[in-house]
Amino acid sequence: MEEEGDVATAFTMARILSNIPVSRGGPTSLVIYDIHALQERFYFSDHVLPCFETGIPLLKQRLHQLPDVDNVVIAFPDDGAWKRFHKQLDQFPTVVCAKVREGDKRIVRLKEGDCAGHHVVIVDDLVQSGGTLIECQKVLAAHGATKVSAYVTHAVFPKKSWGRFLHTDGENSNKGFANFWITDSCPNTVKDIANKAPFEVLSLAGSIADALQI
């Protein structure tokens, strides 16, 4: 909240969901994938039972199918993404980027790690306009990454901003994103990008079924 009158949407949504009536077996389970800010898990009351899940196992399964999996390095666009995901991806080398202010501009810098000669996969919880991912890709390529891909759990892409990532006919994918993996948590996005390179959808269906124990 930056101005008086702004609505704290995450807290308000948590309050709404916390008022789901108690079921015969007790509090209703509420399954949430890759919650955007870790502190939001504490916004829920005891009337519901939040179950926090992640799409990262789907990404790991896909990475191990790549012919160059032994050359993969995971990149985090900021410290928040590192804090959220690094323990789940600790079998891969990592690099961390950071946004820094130069004058009136916020630019992306490589904070730590070595990406030279590697296939670098940027990992984050969600994407909207995609500006940060694009800036990260440029920085990683400038530091010697041979190929850059990306994964996000929630591909929001308002106003069809996914178009910024599409491969044009004859384009060398190494100049942009070789792969862009998303889940189907945002079904409208999945419908829009069907069969459009570099996008590939990893379905949450099996993971949701496991979480619901069905």
pLDDT 10s digits, 184-193 = 999 999 999 9
Count of CB atoms situated within 10 Å of the CB of 70 = 8
- Do residues 132 and 160 make contact, with C-beta atoms less than 8 angstroms apart? no
Q: How confident is the model over 81-134, as pLDDT tens digits?
A: 999 999 999 999 999 999 887 777 778 999 999 999 999 999 999 999 999 999
The CA-atom distances, in angstroms, between 152 and each of 1, 79, 122, 174, 176 are: 25, 16, 8, 19, 16
User: Which pLDDT tens digit goes with each residue over 27-81?
Assistant: 998 999 999 888 899 999 999 999 999 999 999 999 999 999 999 999 999 999 9
**Euclidean distance between CA atoms 109 and 146, whole angstroms:** 18
Question: What does the alpha-carbon distance between residue 31 and residue 51 come to, in Å, rounded to a whole number?
Answer: 5
